Amino acid sequence: MTGTLYGIGTGPGDPELVTRKAWRLVQEADVIAYPSAEGGDSFARSIMADAIKPDAIEIEMPVPMVSGRAPAQAIYDDGAAAIRDHLSAGRDVVVLCEGDPLFYGSFMYILARLRDDFPTQIIPGVTSMTACAAAHNHALVARNDVLTVLPGTLDNDVMLDRIKASEAVVIMKIGRHLGRIRDLLSTQGLAQQALYVSHASLPHEKALPLSNAPDTAPYFSMILLYKGQDPWI
């Protein structure tokens, strides 16, 4: 009898925006695993802190913030091996994932290494994307609109093509690209209607018009742009 691998979405940050199922599974878990910033805290663990048993076994995966995939892959190799030992011994393992495990999540690296050998269950979570729309009380996408989600790392030309082909646009992973993207949207007359959010759902959430956004943005910040028919009619 092997254990089950659970991939659990912890939502955007507010512990109350965790689903009831994710909360229950963590409360019951004897073994949990999560990524952390190398040398720093785990955001996913901090969201779930009040649900974790005091005597739970914890597997931390300190993901290095360096370019190139090899260092991170080595950490996922080690993490997956530790998780595998517990699953093989019949113990369930709950992996905590910020937002939703399958929406731009690193959980896929763990899933890739284990899903052929063990029963697996994914618990979807609230994404940062809809939490950012909630922060602005503004429709993310409506009716029969096309929604496109773009990483901020894209080149200007590609980004602009995709923006033109959509009524609703989410640009993620803004960070150091903020100034460039703001300039790009300005050239198209779109900067005035764009919305900026960082730390959605947390006490230090910032939800501002893009024109009032700070000069430096954290990696986990987002720009929302609605170009469709007025969603309020």
- Kindly list the residues in this chain that would bind its own copies in the complex (CB under 8 A): 9, 11-12, 14-21, 23-24, 100-105, 108, 111-112, 115, 120, 122-127, 130-131, 133-134, 137-151, 153-154, 161-162, 165-166, 173, 201, 231-233
CB-CB neighbours of 108 under 10 Å: 15
**Burial class of residue 90 (count of CB atoms within 10 Å of its CB; 0-12, 13-18, 19+):** exposed
**Burial class of residue 4 (count of CB atoms within 10 Å of its CB; 0-12, 13-18, 19+):** middle
Which of 120/211 has CB closer to its own copies?
A: 120
Q: How far is the CB of 103 from its own copies (least distance, A)?
A: 5
Q: How far is the CB of 178 from its own copies (least distance, A)?
A: 17
Q: How far is the CB of 138 from its own copies (least distance, A)?
A: 7
Residues 6+ apart with CB under 8 A from 172: 104, 128, 129, 149, 150, 151, 152, 222
Q: Is 88 left (phi over 0), alpha (psi -120 to 50) or beta?
A: alpha
Which of 26/33 has CB closer to its own copies?
A: 26
Q: How far is the CB of 71 from its own copies (least distance, A)?
A: 16
Residues 6+ apart with CB under 8 A from 54: none
- How many angstroms separate the CA atoms of 164 and 55, rounded? 53
**CB of 133 closer than 8 Å to CB of 185:** no
Q: How far is the CB of 123 from its own copies (least distance, A)?
A: 7
Using the 8-state DSSP alphabet, how is residue 200 labeled?
Answer: T
Query: In DSSP terms, which residues pair with 59 in a beta bridge?
Result: 33
Q: How far is the CB of 101 from its own copies (least distance, A)?
A: 8
Q: Give the residue from 25, 85, 229 showing the smallest Cα distance to 145.
A: 229
